[in-house]
Chain A
Amino acid sequence: EAGVAQSPRYKIIEKRQSVAFWCNPISGHATLYWYQQILGQGPKLLIQFQNNGVVDDSQLPKDRFSAERLKGVDSTLKIQPAKLEDSAVYLCASSSIGGNNSPLHFGNGTRLTVT
């Protein structure tokens, strides 16, 4: 099966600019996650979708970050305006049914550099 697709692979922007990341999960996977991974740290969950509804967005900085999952398939994560501390790898993951007995499948991420 095809894996989780993410684009772009790399992005460099200046602070206060906007940026968007795109994720296409594995076909049929109901649950989609966005994680942020700062260099040297483990991934941090930003938001979890079940189909097109939000399950958990408690760690999403909502003043600047937004995410949507239209039609319960693809998802976009947006940052507006970006700050220097947003420099990180943004990882998308999906799982078939959610719940803690369902492995996550990760994409290779988008590496964001904010200058």
Chain B
Amino acid sequence: DAKTTQPNSMESNEEEPVHLPCNHSTISGTDYIHWYRQLPSQGPEYVIHGLTSNVNNRMASLAIAEDRKSSTLILHRATLRDAAVYYCIPGGSQGNLIFGKGTKLSVKP
């Protein structure tokens, strides 16, 4: 399984963009990069995933480095509801995602 490195915590101001980094230097060529987030007392929530190209959806954007050894989750305008733990996970071939400790994002009003 590919190893990931994420900051333990980050802070952001409300309505400002947030860039959450992730290093996954041992990722295999066929692993998708998944991002999930977990709000307090809830199960993880899917945010976005991609393979090589940058990806956008209504929640966020995912920028994947050309060598695929790192990626960045971009929240374009942080809200208080975005405060959560964000997990970056290279997807295993069977779809079984191995979670690390993630990045705890705090959003200040």
Contacts and interface: CB of A to CB of B under 8 A. Distances in A.
A86 B74 CA distance: 36
Looking at chain A, what size class is its interface with the partner chain? 20 to 34
A85 to B, nearest CB: 19
B43 interface: yes
Interface stretch (B10-18, B60-68, B76-84, B96-104): B96-104
Given A42-B87, A108-B41, A33 B96 contact: yes
Contact of B42 (A31, A98, A105, A108): A108
A100 B31 contact: yes
B99 A44 contact: yes
Contact of B43 (A56, A99, A100, A107): A107
Contacts of B44: 43, 91, 93, 104, 106
A104 B46 contact: yes
- Interface SS majority for chain B: loop
B99 A43 contact: yes
Contacts of B31: 100
Given A91-B44, A104-B46, A31 B87 contact: no
A103 B35 CA distance: 10
Contacts of A91: 43-44
Contacts of B45: 106
Nearest to B99: A42
Nearest to B85: A42
Interface of A: 4, 31, 33, 35, 41-45, 48, 55-56, 91, 93, 95, 98-109
19 contacts: A31-B95, A42-B87, A42-B99, A44-B99, A45-B97, A55-B96, A91-B43, A93-B44, A100-B31, A100-B34, A100-B91, A100-B93, A100-B95, A101-B32, A101-B51, A104-B36, A104-B44, A104-B97, A106-B44
